[in-house]
């Protein structure tokens, strides 16, 4: 089972940088009743420039990412969607961004059952916290990963559009629509 969950930080950027142990308690899932209030507060404090959080991805109880992989959630989602789009169109997708040097790579695997190898380079998280690996790689069934990324990307977009400043929603929406147009998506 592919699981993707978006969280936003309950703390400021400086508090997160200075904290040496980040955990679930430092973040709130976007479906939580107070997530909109927390998101609006972050955007207000940053004058609409940043919404910090993370996207936790796992498959069959193996985690690709963790709470250490936090940054601007808009950038994380945009990078994951762009990487997926490039992978589906060319066989390989690479993307990265941020002050925290995270990078993503997806490769289509030529197998009987279509699959995608998804590598998450953890950037500064691996340097800041000694128990975080430099990178994690998981193999996903292609249709499960694509459908889950579209589903959860759409949920993030809905959440983001509900905040007082919708930020890069138009770009994220375009990538979701481009992925849907490729044709392997099943209705939700």
Q: What is the spatial distance between Cα 6 and Cα 81, in angstroms, rounded to a whole number? A: 14
- CATH tag for 2-181 (out of 2.30.29, 3.30.2450, 2.60.40, 3.30.450): 3.30.2450
Using left for φ > 0, alpha for ψ between -120 and 50, and beta otherwise, residue 102 falls in beta
- Which tens digits make up the pLDDT trace of 48-67? 788 999 999 999 999 999 88
- Which tens digits make up the pLDDT trace of 64-80? 998 888 889 999 999 99
Beta-carbon neighbour count of residue 183 at 10 Å?
7
Q: What is the spatial distance between Cα 85 and Cα 14, in angstroms, rounded to a whole number? A: 33
Q: What is the spatial distance between Cα 87 and Cα 72, in angstroms, rounded to a whole number? A: 23
Q: Taking the complete model, does pTM exceed 0.95, yes or no?
A: no
Answer yes or no: are the C-beta atoms of 141 and 114 closer than 8 Å: yes
Joined together, the tokens standing for residue 95 give 């993307």
């Amino acid at each position: 089972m592919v699981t993707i969950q978006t969280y936003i930080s309950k703390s400021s950027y400086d508090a997160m940088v200075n904290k040496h142990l980040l955990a679930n308690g430092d973040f709130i899932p976007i479906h939580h009743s107070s997530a909109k209030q927390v998101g609006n507060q972050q955007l207000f404090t940053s004058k609409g420039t940043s919404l910090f959080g993370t996207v936790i991805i796992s498959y069959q109880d193996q985690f690709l990412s963790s709470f250490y992989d936090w940054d601007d959630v808009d950038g994380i989602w945009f990078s994951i969607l762009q990487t997926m789009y490039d992978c589906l169109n060319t066989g390989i997708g690479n993307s990265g961004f941020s002050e925290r040097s995270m990078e993503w790579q997806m490769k289509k695997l030529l197998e009987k059952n279509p699959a995608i190898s998804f590598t998450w380079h953890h950037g500064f998280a691996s340097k800041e916290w000694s128990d975080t690996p430099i990178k994690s790689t998981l193999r996903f069934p292609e249709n499960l990963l694509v459908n889950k990324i579209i589903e959860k990307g759409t949920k993030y977009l809905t959440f983001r559009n509900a905040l007082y400043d919708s930020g890069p929603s138009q770009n994220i929406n375009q990538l979701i629509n481009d992925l849907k147009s490729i044709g392997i998506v099943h209705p939700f």
